[in-house]
């Protein structure tokens, strides 16, 4: 008898938590992001660039920067476009995005990436990378509103 009551209470709590998270996700919005990043390094790398967030028809300039720790050799420029989801206001796109990755580019190559910041914003970007670079690293990308 006591166990079945605990099970019912647990199920009710699980449904309540799921309902709250669905309503929070439903109130989140999305925007369009375009960024251009120059990355270079010799063992330790750095990247920097600029971009634009389009949210509710308004444009917000972005600055992009970061550090790559691992093996990085070369120089490249990456141009990415896509969307940012799970944001409520433009400032939600600002933050630090971390990714582990490996790759190489010789000339022109395609790039597809998904990153998440500490506010829950998810960047889903694709584009092209130009340059000569090889990497096996842990990358940090910081985006800020200008």
- The SS3 assignment for 56 reads coil
How far, in Å, CA of 67 to CA of 26, rounded? Answer: 34
Residue with tokens 């008898």: 1
pLDDT digits (tens, 9 = 90+) for 110-139: 777 888 999 999 999 888 888 887 776 567
pLDDT number for residue 58: 97
pLDDT digits (tens, 9 = 90+) for 86-110: 999 999 999 998 766 556 666 677 7
Buried b (16+ CB within 10 A) or exposed e, 103-136: eebeeebebebebebeeebbbebebebebebebe
pLDDT number for residue 144: 96
* Cα separation values, 63 from 5, 37, 39, 83, Å: 54, 10, 14, 17
pLDDT number for residue 71: 74
pLDDT number for residue 22: 45
pLDDT digits (tens, 9 = 90+) for 61-75: 999 998 877 777 888
> Would the pTM count as exceeding 0.85?
no
Q: Give residue 4's pLDDT band: very low, low, confident or very high (50, 70, 90).
A: low
56 φ, ψ to 5°?
A: 55, 40
pLDDT, mean of residues 39-52 = 88
pLDDT digits (tens, 9 = 90+) for 9-39: 554 655 555 454 444 445 689 999 999 999 8
pLDDT number for residue 57: 95
């Amino acid at each position: 008898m006591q166990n079945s009551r605990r099970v019912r209470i647990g199920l009710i709590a699980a449904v309540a938590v799921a309902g709250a998270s669905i309503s929070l996700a439903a109130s989140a919005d999305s925007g369009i992001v375009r960024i251009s990043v120059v990355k270079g390094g010799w063992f330790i790398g750095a990247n920097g660039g600029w971009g634009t967030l389009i949210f509710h028809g308004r444009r917000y300039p972005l600055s992009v920067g970061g550090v790559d720790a691992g093996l990085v050799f070369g120089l490249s420029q990456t141009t990415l476009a896509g969307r940012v989801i799970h944001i409520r206001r433009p400032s939600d796109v600002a933050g630090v995005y971390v990714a582990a990755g490996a790759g190489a580019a010789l000339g022109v190559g395609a790039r597809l990436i998904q990153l998440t910041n500490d506010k829950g914003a998810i960047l889903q970007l694709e584009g092209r990378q130009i340059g000569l670079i090889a990497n096996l690293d842990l990358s940090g990308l910081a985006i800020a509103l200008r």
